[in-house]
Amino acid sequence: MSKPANALPRILVLGAGLGGTIAAYEIRDATKGRAEVSVVSDSDDYWFVPSNPWVAVRWRETDAIRVSLPPVMAKKGITFTSVGAARVHPAENRVELRDGTSMSYDYLVIATGPELAFDEIPGFGPDGHTVSVCRTDHAAHAADVFDEFCKNPKPIVVGAAQGASCFGPAYEFALILDTELRRRKIRDQVPMTFVTSEPYIGHLGLDGVGDTKGLLESQLRERHIKWVTNARVTSFDDGMAHVEEVGEDGAVKKVHDLPFGFSMLLPAFRGIKAVYGIEGLTNPRGFILADKHQRNPNFKNVYSLGVCVAIPPLGPTPVPVGVPKTGFMIESMVTAVAHNIAAELDGREPNEVPSWNAVCLADFGDGGVAFVAQPQIPPRNVNWSSHGKWVHLAKVGFEKYFLKKVRSGVSEPFYEKLALQMLGINKLKETTKEDV
């Protein structure tokens, strides 16, 4: 556990998903050899999760969105292990691994993503009566279930359960299913219902962005998809979803028993077991507490980014609705963390604040919806949404581009930085005296 007095500071990144992988690259570049960077993951592979809805209808094979991380990390001079974390001990500056060993650190960056809380609703999830697109192995299993479903079409129920904080993929998957069913010429045999905890269609956990309410309602209407908002799912049986529709006063307004032959709802998230219940580190749901610099207020050498970060909901809703952490928002956290750790290594206080700007592309196969929110949490300087076939093409291009970044070990090529500057989309807020 101890290290030589002249050893470099150890920066440990916990997690190797979208945020953790890019964070490792960017921190390595920002510290310029002044620190040892290590990554702890529970897998050797990086999966491009935004493509999971495509995997679930066989528009993508899993290997097409996979990157083997050990060779890339080795090329970047980053120590990597896929043993996985058992428990974080922030008071001792160490992470206990699943094999019983520990890794000490000078700085810890928590980027674990969430635990999927399927168990909070009876019969929910891949081990119950519904499928999932939250992980790539889940999506691959969903593809097998969908193939069997298409041999004997029945109703479909898609959406997001109470407490969910990621709504874009739910809309995306519902409309991808519509497109694929039409391609297979069986859409006319499949009634579809969209079930969501949002107070209205297009809320997205963000009180809407631009006209997402109108755009998404229009898409659902055009595609003959019914919906239930303010929905609280009580349980799933084999082939039946039991849903309570809640009124503005919190009382049950209507009960829906929705039959299905295929169903995917996004679950609520919570913190992973390695951090859950650590006083001063997490909130009651196990999400990591962080200040505006992404630094924990109680353990000053612990930073966090991505879905694992605690962000309070925008306001009260009849059914619990979380705030999403979108891809660009996470990348802005990555850049802030990298700059702030570099500042600390220079003996300065962290002063960079992530912009939390959101750029989102929701693909429907034959079109899609895009939105830009600057910042993601209102009130906003930019509040824009649009739709069209161009969104599908943009999503395909972004998938290829992002996977290339991960494979090459580069967090932000110069042309990406230039393009963002030209569009006026920044990852960091302008520093003010209050931030210093």
Residues annotated catalytic, as ranges: 166, 360
Alpha helices in 184-284 (DSSP H): 212-222
As a whole number of angstroms, the distance between CA 244 and CA 236 comes to: 12
Question: Widest CA span of the chain, in angstroms?
Answer: 71
Strands (E), 111-152: 115-116
SS3 at position 338: helix
Euclidean distance between CA atoms 23 and 427, whole angstroms: 13
How far is the C-alpha of 227 from the C-alpha of 229, rounded, in Å?
A: 7
Between strands 225-228 and 231-237, the pairing is unpaired
Q: End-to-end CA distance of the chain, in Å? A: 34
Residues 6+ apart with CB under 8 A from 187: 178, 181
Q: Please name the helix (run of DSSP H) or strand (run of DSSP E) that holds residue 243, with its range, or none.
A: strand 240-246
CB-based contact 271:114 (threshold 8 Å): yes
CA distances 43 to 68, 71, 135, Å, are 9, 13, 12
Q: Count CA atoms closer than 13 A to 145's CA, side-chain side.
A: 25
227/184 Cα distance (integer angstroms): 23
Q: Which sign, positive or negative, has the C-alpha torsion 113, 114, 116, 121? A: negative
